[in-house]
Amino acid sequence: AQSVTQPDIHITVSEGASLELRCNYSYGATPYLFWYVQSPGQGLQLLLKYFSGDTLVQGIKGFEAEFKRSQSSFNLRKPSVHWSDAAEYFCAVGGGATNKLIFGTGTLLAVQP
């Protein structure tokens, strides 16, 4: 079955600390992988995507993610978190760039001073 797992429901980090949000997927074909961020009252914004090529992808706002096929993972990282990064983060997988997306349950990030 196709699915996305985000094991961490809620994470709290201190401002300036590094961040890693975990994402594991199960998908029968070559996966297209995405990370979205949803701030309160806002729509979903695409942070980054992976289709093929270099397994380390850079996104907006200083985020990056690494695709590891052997681990079926696509973890999101940021070296230094800012208070404005507090939001909910969703990992998603699709079978093509324009196909429907399967989302994980999300990780809610809190940033403390």
Partner 1 sequence: SAVISQKPSRDICQRGTSLTIQCQVDSQVTMMFWYRQQPGQSLTLIATANQGSEATYESGFVIDKFPISRPNLTFSTLTVSNMSPEDSSIYLCSTTRGDEQFFGPGTRLTVL
CA separation for the pair 106, 5 (Å, rounded): 9
Query: Contact at 8 Å (CB) between 59 and 66?
Result: no
CA separation for the pair 59, 47 (Å, rounded): 5
Tokens of 46: 């695409």
From 16-24, 53-61, 75-83, 98-106, span contacting partner 1 (CB under 8 A): 98-106
Q: Is residue 106 near partner 1 by the rule CB under 8 A?
A: yes
The nearest distance, CB 89 to partner 1, in angstroms, is 12
Q: Of 14, 26, 30, 42, which lies in the binding site for partner 1, with binding defined by CB under 8 A?
A: 42
Q: Of 63, 90, 107, 109, which lies in the binding site for partner 1, with binding defined by CB under 8 A?
A: 90
From 22-30, 59-67, 75-83, 101-109, span contacting partner 1 (CB under 8 A): 101-109
Query: Contact at 8 Å (CB) between 31 and 42?
Result: no
